[in-house]
Amino acid sequence: MAYKNSLNKDLKEVNKLLRQNISTEKSIADLYTYIFNKNGKQLRARLSLISSSRDKRQGKKRFKLAAIIELLHNATLIHDDVVDESPTRRGVKSVNNIWTNAHGVLIGDYIYSKAFVLMVELGSEKIAEELSSASNEISMGELIQLDAIGNTSITLSRLEDISYFKTGRLFEASARCGALLCNSRKKYTNNISNCAKNLGIVFQIKDDLLDYLGNEVELGKPAFQDIKEGKVTYPFYFAYKNANSNEKKILDTMLGNKKVSHAKVSNIINKLNGIKETENLALKYINKCRVSACKLDNGIQQEMLKLLDTSINRIK
Amino acid sequence: MAYKNSLNKDLKEVNKLLRQNISTEKSIADLYTYIFNKNGKQLRARLSLISSSRDKRQGKKRFKLAAIIELLHNATLIHDDVVDESPTRRGVKSVNNIWTNAHGVLIGDYIYSKAFVLMVELGSEKIAEELSSASNEISMGELIQLDAIGNTSITLSRLEDISYFKTGRLFEASARCGALLCNSRKKYTNNISNCAKNLGIVFQIKDDLLDYLGNEVELGKPAFQDIKEGKVTYPFYFAYKNANSNEKKILDTMLGNKKVSHAKVSNIINKLNGIKETENLALKYINKCRVSACKLDNGIQQEMLKLLDTSINRIK
């Protein structure tokens, strides 16, 4: 309880930092303020704060690191919304919807480079190395996914790669950088990074599941987007694998069809065990996450397990 | 002559570096190879090589720095093409034209973050500081320009700010980082940075002029794009300033009109001294550039003046 309060207090400091030194250019300030007006779950910031909580003497550096990670994450979200042409994000209109794609691209670049400016100020080469390589791998994951659109013969291991690069990688880097900030031992650094990496993959699998469960109001964004965009994610992958040739034909017509019936998609994906098998896959990563968590000291272990619970039970 | 040969030899090393360690992911390698298949003028890489040529003991680090700068520059070009919906770049189709906007956004991010990965490897905090802040200001310049679309009451000093942020800033950073790499004295560092900054602004003014001169074949990209996109650049700014109320109305109908007649635009902009006054403005920056160049040692001074000549006399 005390720990949670302390984490929330830390997050407040991070959010203060995120809202500091906003550009004096009105158009940039407007965009920036809009983006950071509504906090997301801030899981990556939390991960870095938990991981660096072993050495609170790092004080403001801990907050700065978490703010840098939030900046990087938000830059990728804004670009993703341009890439996916998403009209909403966190229950409100996306940047590309209120403004334009051009604004989305450029404010994404602005926030991204701002993260690097702060990273240099932080002054840790190891952290800069980890975060720049994570950023590179995130865009790699997104490009691989883009290339896989409409590809019904994609393998499970390829989908797992995408989940790692797209999501697991920054979760991992957040925890690793928190540990690096405290000059932690390799054992701690690797355990918490591994735990966070698998947590990230669980988070992504849950994301893929939520898209197929289709509760748009709770999600704060449109549902059944993946199938409409032609993205093969786990529920579709497993359903397709289990489909007979007739069902495969039906699934083929659904993939990339912007006007597909939500009810029909839900029906066939469920019938072919797409949801069930995705849940089983999630269990594999939940277990991996737990195994790594158990190797951590009690306080940090509890916090990581709480984040895992939040990720599993979330409805948005 | 010997110097020029040596610069071209250095550039070859830079281009080798740019083509090294290409992703094993085919889709990424295809995009990346396409982008770096055709070299541009590589002025920024040249600037950093010239500036760092005082201390050739830096060897491979000089090439790496120039490669990092080329990566940053190309990332911004690719994003610009998405922002401007440009169909061509350097005489060939743009990434967003052959592939999609989504590919443009993501490969831009990939190249951008690759630059930061290499920057960390380079291991100079001062260089990382300069390049991350330059990147941030480039996107700032692009955002200010985007916000100014259709704004016929924009001031000259605001247009000069945009030219500095969009173009002068990275020219300046390229020279400054070259000097920083050699641990140069402040005097040299500031002189060459200033010289490069003004060279960059000359380059941008010339770019704005070329767009209005309209030779698409030589340009390798469509002409009269600025006026069609509603961008007020120098030729339009000066013409508008000199226009009477009737001519202002005509210019108003031309700004942002994708189907405007090239001949009519050319005619009115010339008649109202838009080209002439832009050329005068260029002279101001050419002089500033020359003044700073004169403070440099003979060899480096000659190289900077050659780049200035190239920038002034270029037809694309």
pLDDT in single tens digits along all 316 residues of chain B: 456 678 999 999 999 999 988 999 999 999 999 999 988 889 999 999 999 998 878 789 999 999 999 999 999 999 999 998 888 888 899 999 999 999 999 999 999 999 999 999 999 999 999 999 999 999 999 999 999 999 999 999 999 999 999 999 999 999 999 999 999 999 999 999 999 999 999 999 999 999 999 777 777 777 899 999 999 999 999 999 999 999 999 999 999 999 999 999 999 999 999 999 999 999 999 999 999 999 999 999 999 999 999 999 987 7
What lies within 8 Å, CB to CB, of A160 at 6+ separation is: A201
> Residue B31 and residue A76: Cβ atoms within 8 Å?
no
Give the confidence band of A222 by pLDDT, cuts at 50, 70, 90.
Answer: confident
Whether chain B has a CB inside 8 Å of the CB on A74: the answer is no
What lies within 8 Å, CB to CB, of B268 at 6+ separation is: B239, B247, B250, B251, B254
With a pLDDT cut of 90, the percent of chain A lying above it is: 86
Which residue among A23, A101, A142 sits closest to B106, beta carbon to beta carbon? Answer: A142
Min distance A46 CA to chain B CA atoms (Å): 24
Query: Which residues of A fall within a CB distance of 8 Å from B166?
Result: none
**What is the pLDDT at residue B316?**
76
Six-digit token pair at A94? 């996306």
Q: Which chain B residue shows the shortest CA-CA distance from A129?
A: B120
**Using CA atoms, how far apart are residues B23 and B29, in angstroms rounded to an integer?**
5
The residues in B 105-164 lying below 8 A from A, measured between CB atoms, are: 105-110, 112-114, 116-117, 119-121, 123, 125, 128-129, 132-133, 135-136, 138-140, 142-144, 146-147
Helix (H) or strand (E) holding A188: helix A186-213
Amino acid at A285: Y
Best B120, B122, B151, B158 residue to mutate vs chain A (most A CBs within 10 Å): B120
**What is the pLDDT at residue A1?**
45
Which residue among A28, A132, A143 sits closest to B106, beta carbon to beta carbon? Answer: A143
Contact B113, A129 (CB under 8 A): no
Q: Which of B196, B162, B198, B161 is nearest to B176 (CA)?
A: B196
What letter does residue A232 receive in the DSSP assignment?
-
What lies within 8 Å, CB to CB, of B310 at 6+ separation is: B41, B43
**What is the pLDDT at residue A99?**
96
**What is the pLDDT at residue B3?**
63
What lies within 8 Å, CB to CB, of B173 at 6+ separation is: B69, B130, B131, B133, B134, B193
> Residue B129 and residue A135: Cβ atoms within 8 Å?
no
Query: Which residues of B fall within a CB distance of 8 Å from A35?
Result: none
What is chain A's mean pLDDT, rounded?
Answer: 94
pLDDT surpasses 70 at A108:
yes
> Residue B143 and residue A112: Cβ atoms within 8 Å?
no
Query: Which residues of B fall within a CB distance of 8 Å from A142?
Result: 106, 109
Best A33, A34, A80, A113 residue to mutate vs chain B (most B CBs within 10 Å): A113
Query: Which residues of B fall within a CB distance of 8 Å from A28?
Result: 140, 143-144
Which residue among A25, A116, A147 sits closest to B116, beta carbon to beta carbon? Answer: A116
Structural domains in chain A, sorted by start: 2-313 (1.10.600.10)
**What is the pLDDT at residue A250?**
98
Min distance B246 CA to chain A CA atoms (Å): 31
In total, the C-beta contacts within 8 angstroms joining chain A to chain B are 135
Best B71, B86, B105, B166 residue to mutate vs chain A (most A CBs within 10 Å): B105
Give the confidence band of A32 by pLDDT, cuts at 50, 70, 90.
Answer: very high
Contact B308, B270 (CB under 8 A): no
**What is the pLDDT at residue B2?**
57
pLDDT, tens digit (0-9, with 9 covering 90-100), for A231-258:
999 999 999 999 999 999 999 999 999 9
Best A35, A73, A74, A105 residue to mutate vs chain B (most B CBs within 10 Å): A105
Residue B189, CA distances (Å) to B25, B181, B194, B195, B307 in order: 40, 10, 8, 10, 18
> Residue A101 and residue B110: Cβ atoms within 8 Å?
no
**Using CA atoms, how far apart are residues B194 and B81, in angstroms rounded to an integer?**
28
